Amino acid sequence: MSKRTFEELQEALKRATMPDGADVIAQCIAELEELDSPEARALCAGTYGNRYLFTGDYGLALEQFQHALDIYSQLGLGKQAAVTRANLGISHFRIGDYSTALECYTSALSYHQQFGDRSDVARLEANIGVAHEVNGNLSEALDHLQRALHIRKELGVPYGEARVIGNIGNVYYASGNYPLALECYYKALDLHEAHGNRVERANILGNIGAIRKATGDYALALESYHQVLAIFKEYGHRGGIASSTSNIGNVYTHLGDDVTGLVYLRQALVMHEENGDREGVALVMGNIFGALVRIKSYEEAYTILEQLDAMSIISPNTAIVREVNRALLHVAHNEYVQAEKSYRVALELSINHELPNKQIDVHAYLRELCQTTNDFPGYIEHNNEYTRIVEETNGKETATKLAMQEKQREIDAREKEHQKHMAVLHSTLPKHIADRVARGEEVNDSFNNAAVLFLDVVGFTTHSAELDAGVVVALLQNIFTTFDAISAENNVMKIKTIGDSYMAVAFGTANTEQRIANAAVAMMSTMFTWPHTGERVKFRIGLHCGPVVAGVLGTERMQYDVWGDTVNVASRMESTSEPGRIHVSEAFATHLPVTSASDSFERPLQLLERGTIEIKGKGLMKTYWLAENSEQNSEQRTANSVTP
């Protein structure tokens, strides 16, 4: 029997996202299958579809979304049908069926516009923009994406905003405007990083890799693609793994290593076929075709070409790759007229779809063909066009802008890392010590006069055994946070807490004993109670002064600590103190301005002689009790006030 209602499961699925919510999604699917109502079956199918979309099983995603759409249509649930139709469009897009994807998007958009679902309108505007971009309709793509971005910003949806900005970057990339593309990619990358969207971050890193490849920085392109591949493998994202593997293969072919490139491309082809990604299959086959021509494996190249010609190729990029490689095959067999025809088809496609990157490639091939056939006017024509477009898209000004953007990105990354490092240092070390460590200074200090405080919570072990761990931690947090504030007010440095013990030190020559005595009295005056008994929490405090050595220990989780006999004696003062009292050494007492029997006016602190006691490791020592004057009036009836 299902534990939750349909509405509860629906809400749970809205909050759960892949991959982090995979377990939650699986549990919801199981409970929906138990409910077995028409709505539950439709929601279950849609959830399966989303899961298959994430993992790149696009054929299975199509089946599930179509099943969900059929049920919602029968039930007359228009909104759910529109959402599902949009997801169906995404599935068609993933397998390269862009025209059907656009039909699904447009139909869903019409419904959501009618009912004012602005978030869904933004999502569909973005999807339509992406579909136009891959079809080479760049101006229309940019128009839809800008509309989507405007709505996302109005609604305050950073995740959706990041995706749209990344897609706008893709439009600029396709148009050859690399600086603007890179600017968009870095903006999107920052937003995805801020919200922990690692899969989306991987997509953007892949796009940055594409710019590096397009500008000839193949080493960095490979680095980007391998980084992306590792992330997709971590999350089991089949579509991402396939595309990253293909991208790595393409870089190797650009480096002239067609043998290694073919290894990656063949792996990618198998994965795209398994995923049902028709456009991915066509694109990779086109790249395999080109590599086979270059290594003179003509028989297999002809076989691949026949398969490509039998496909319905919609993407202009894929069609251009096919025609260029067809021309190369003709050139290999001295069929120059046929080669020029294929190049001309590719050039026309690249011009019609405003793809300057492809225009550069085709003009370079035509220039080479003209040189081979001694067509010098043709050579000059294509060389001029090649040079012009290269200068426009990847000339000195563009290269300078890209270099400046990359350098600024490096500077920003270093600054961000430095800020993280400083935040960690400041969380574990006093600020002035952290600053010294950050400068690379070895912190090794000695002080001739320091006042040391040790404080312990009386009966902590007994009381904490009767309380939940969370209650104990909360109480200690409250106590020690209060003590931190008291220390700061009195210019006293907290050194550390160990369990229920608190250690602090006053350094310097100006009133160190007075400052730490004031802090001790303030700490002793705080009011905390044990939650289970209502009794007041009591403390023991010990104070001593003298020379100490201080420094930073370790390289991980660094700590500023203090050592020396002075520290040991202060600790003994605390351990031999009594609940609710401040126990100080004679050396400490002699430095305090306190009320004595002969004073003509009262001072804020009072010392009462405790007598001589045995201190471990030190023998007999004369010690004192320290208290606020006002609190000792009644005690003066039985104890004499003395000047040490």
Q: What is the pLDDT of residues 486-531, one digit of tens each?
A: 999 998 989 899 889 999 999 876 688 999 999 999 999 999 999 9
What's the rounded Cα separation, in Å, for the pair 198 and 481? Answer: 36
Q: Give helix then strand counts, H and E, for the chain.
A: 27, 8
- Binning pLDDT at 50, 70 and 90, where does residue 355 land? confident
- Binning pLDDT at 50, 70 and 90, where does residue 18 land? low
CB-based contact 535:529 (threshold 8 Å): yes
What CATH number was assigned to the domain covering residues 317-394? Answer: 1.25.40.10
CA distances from 70 to 76, 140, 404, 468 (A): 10, 31, 53, 54
- Give residues with Cβ within 8 angstroms of 174, minimum separation 6: 133, 136, 138, 354, 355, 357
Identity of the residue numbered 279:
E
For residue 273, give both structure tokens: 């076929």
- Whether 1-116 and 317-394 share one fold: the answer is yes
**Mean pLDDT across the stretch 114-129?**
90
What's the rounded Cα separation, in Å, for the pair 95 and 280? Answer: 7
CB-based contact 608:643 (threshold 8 Å): no
What's the rounded Cα separation, in Å, for the pair 572 and 562? Answer: 15
* Closest by CA position to 122, among listed 95, 157, 89: 157
List the domain boundaries for the chain.
1-116, 317-394, 442-637
| Domain 1-116: CATH class, spelled out | mainly alpha
- Binning pLDDT at 50, 70 and 90, where does residue 396 land? low
**Mean pLDDT across the stretch 434-440?**
68
- Give residues with Cβ within 8 angstroms of 209, minimum separation 6: 220, 221, 222, 223, 224, 225, 228, 247
For residue 496, give both structure tokens: 């550390």
Identity of the residue numbered 637:
R
High-pLDDT (> 70) share of the chain, %: 86
* This prediction's pTM: 0.56
Identity of the residue numbered 224:
S
What's the rounded Cα separation, in Å, for the pair 497 and 472? Answer: 15
* Closest by CA position to 19, among listed 162, 200, 269: 200
Count CA atoms closer than 13 A to 64's CA, side-chain side.
20
What's the rounded Cα separation, in Å, for the pair 38 and 48? Answer: 15
| Domain 442-637: CATH class, spelled out | alpha beta
What's the rounded Cα separation, in Å, for the pair 86 and 53? Answer: 13
* Confidence check: pLDDT of 604 > 80: no
- Binning pLDDT at 50, 70 and 90, where does residue 53 land? confident
What's the rounded Cα separation, in Å, for the pair 350 and 318? Answer: 11
ω into 158 cis (within 30 of 0): no
**Bridge partners, 542 (sequence order):** 454, 583
